[in-house]
A and B are shown apart, each in its own frame.
Chain A
Amino acid sequence: AQSVTQPDIHITVSEGASLELRCNYSYGATPYLFWYVQSPGQGLQLLLKYFSGDTLVQGIKGFEAEFKRSQSSFNLRKPSVHWSDAAEYFCAVGMDSSYKLIFGSGTRLLVRP
């Protein structure tokens, strides 16, 4: 069965430090991959997505992610975190062009001043 694992429930980084959030998926073929951010009381916002092509994907707010087929991973990175990045981050997998997605359980990012 398809699944998504986000091994870190919480991550705390200092403002200005770099960030990497981990995501591993289980799926037999090449999946469609997504990262979403959810702030308290807000809906999910798409940060970036991978469908095909270049395995390094650029997103909004300075985020990027790299698809590594050999590791079944799609880790999210940002070189310098801002206090406003504090939120919950979800990795998701899709099997086709629909948005019938399987989400991970999320990583809560806390940013130290």
Chain B
Amino acid sequence: DTGVSQDPRHKITKRGQNVTFRCDPISEHNRLYWYRQTLGQGPEFLTYFQNEAQLEKSRLLSDRFSAERPKGSFSTLEIQRTEQGDSAMYLCASSLEGVGQEAFFGQGTRLTVV
């Protein structure tokens, strides 16, 4: 297994367009997390899944954001009607369930809204 994969690595979009990012977790990991990281800041939690169930969403996740994990494997994060403030690195991580497990992060998708 090559770790957590995210696609695309970079995305430039015009304001108002919709974008979708994909995350492929480590295959046996049942938990998947999305974070957003802006320049000079630490990552901020957005949402996480256990298998296909979305267990929690941050208040940061506006109605324009939606995440899915339809078969409990890969996940997508869609942003509708992008705004310049959405420009950030979007990070995905996965882990097994349970105390003491480690979460592994992907390299992220850098979104630039122009």
Chain A residues with CB under 8 Å of chain B are: 4, 36, 41-46, 49, 51, 90, 92, 97-106
Most chain A C-beta atoms within 10 Å of own C-beta, residue among B4, B31, B45, B98: B45
Choice from B31, B100, B106 contacting A43 with Cβ under 8 Å: B106
Residues of B within 8 A of A46 (CB): 102-104
Q: Knowing that A44-B43, A90-B43 touch, tell me 11 more A-B residue pairs with CB under 8 angstroms.
A: A43-B4, A45-B105, A90-B42, A97-B100, A98-B33, A99-B33, A99-B48, A101-B43, A103-B44, A104-B42, A106-B42
The 5 residue pairs across chains A and B that have the minimum distance between CB atoms: A103-B42, A99-B103, A43-B105, A44-B105, A97-B99
Contact B42–A105 (Cβ < 8 Å): yes
What total of chain B residues lie within 8 Å of the partner, measured CB to CB?
27
What secondary structure prevails in chain B residues at the interface with A? loop
Known: A46-B103, A92-B42. A100 touches B48 (CB 8 A): yes
Cβ < 8 Å to A, chain B residues 10-63: 31, 33, 40-45, 48, 55-56
Is B111 interfacial (CB-CB < 8 Å)?
A: no
Residues of B65-92 contacting chain A, CB below 8 A: 91
* Residues B95 and A99 in contact, CB atoms below 8 Å apart: yes
CB neighbours (8 Å) of A99 from chain B are 31, 33, 48, 93, 95, 103
A49 with B40: CB separation less than 8 A: no
Contact indicator A42/B45 (Cβ below 8 Å): no
Q: CB of B112 within 8 A of chain A?
A: no
Q: Are the C-beta atoms of B45 and A43 separated by less than 8 Å?
A: no
Question: Which residue of chain B has its CB nearest to the CB of A102?
Answer: B45
Contact A100 B107, CB 8 Å, known A43-B4, A46-B102, A51-B100: no
- Nearest residue in A to B3 (C-beta to C-beta)? A43
Nearest A residue (CB) for B33 = A99
Chain A residues whose C-beta falls within 8 Å of the C-beta of B31 in the assembled complex:
98-99
Q: Of all chain B residues, which has the CB nearest A44?
A: B105
